[in-house]
Copies of this chain bind each other. A is one copy, B any other.
Amino acid sequence: MSDGRPIGVFDSGLGGLTVVKELFRLMPNEQIIYLGDTARCPYGGRSNETIESFGIQDASFLESKDIKLLIVACNTVSSVALEKVREQVGEIPVIGVVLPGCKAAVTRTAEKKIGVIGTRATIRASSYKKAIQSIDPSIVVYGKECPLFVPLVEEGVVNHDITYSVVQYYLYELVDSGIDCLILGCTHYPLLMEAIQGTVSSRIELIDSAMWTAKEAYDILNALDARAEEDRDGFAQSHFYITDFVPNFEKSAERFIGKKINNIELVPLDQLADLVIGK
C-alpha cells in the first residue's frame, strides 16, 4: 500500500533544508511541506519556554496540512521540546534530528568518546548526551556550544580565514579530548564540513545529523508501508513556507537545498499563533 500524503518538515529558518535535501536524495518521489520560521530565527539562544511555544506553532501549521510524518529539522526544538511537539500532533509519527545522529555515532566510536557541537540551547539541554548514554552509558560525551557558526553560514563566510579561526577557537579543546566522532548538531553545520574537517584531525569522523535523520524517515516510512507511489516528482509537488521574506531568502535556500526553489510562500506569524489557539 502506498501513502501519497506529504512529509512535514520544520526548522527555525532555512537550515532545515539540509534535511530536505537528504530526504529527496533517498526518496525523490516524496512530497514535502516545509516551514521555516524566518521571522523569528534563530531559536538557539532563546529560553526553553519560548522554543517550546514556537515549536508547537510550527508543528500545528504542518499538522493542518494532512502530513503522514513530521520531521523536526531544528536541533534546538528537537533538544528541548520534542515531547511537547509530539503531544501537539497526536497520532502523527514525529522524528527529531537528535536521535538519528546519536545512533550512528554510537555504532562508530571505537574510543567511546563522542563530541557534539550545536547552539547554546541544544548543548545546554544535554539532549545528545542523554540520547547517546541511553543507548550506551559507558560512552563519554563532550558537548560544545558554537554560537558563531550559524551567523558565519548565514553570511556565506564558510571557507575564509575567519571561518577557520572561529572553528579553531571553538574546537581545540574537543580535539584534545580524544573523541573519534563529532556530531554536527545543527542543520547549518554541514555547510562548514570542510572547515571543520580541515581543523580537527582526520581520524575524527563527522556525523551529519541531517543525513541520518533522512535515513530514519526512510526506514520508518518503509516499516509503516507508507511510502508514496514511485512514479512521482516529489520536489515539483512540494511546498515551501517561510514566516518572513527575509533578504536573500531564495539564494540562502538554494545554498542549503542545493537547487533553486521557485515557489516559496509566506505564512504570517499571526496565522501560526491562531492555529494553536484554535485547537
Residue numbers of A with Cβ under 8 A of B are 38-40, 45-47, 49-50, 120-121, 124, 147-148, 150-152, 154-155, 157, 160-162, 165-166, 169, 244-247, 270, 273
Between A and B, 21 residue pairs with Cβ closer than 8 Å are A38-B46, A39-B46, A39-B50, A40-B40, A45-B246, A46-B244, A47-B244, A47-B245, A47-B247, A49-B244, A50-B244, A120-B247, A121-B247, A147-B151, A148-B157, A151-B151, A162-B162, A162-B165, A162-B169, A165-B165, A270-B273
Number of copies: 2
CB distance from A159 to the nearest CB of B (A): 13
Residues of B within 8 A of A46 (CB): 38-39, 244, 246
Question: Complex: how many Å from CA A45 to CA B155?
Answer: 11
Q: Is the CB of B147 within 8 A of A154?
A: yes
**A40-B39, A40-B40, A161-B165 given as contacts; is B45 within 8 A of A247 (CB)?**
yes
Residues of B within 8 A of A161 (CB): 165
From B39, B47, B169, give the contact of A246 (CB < 8 A). B47
Question: Complex: how many Å from CA A150 to CA B270?
Answer: 27
Question: Complex: how many Å from CA A39 to CA B169?
Answer: 28
Question: Complex: how many Å from CA A273 to CA B169?
Answer: 40
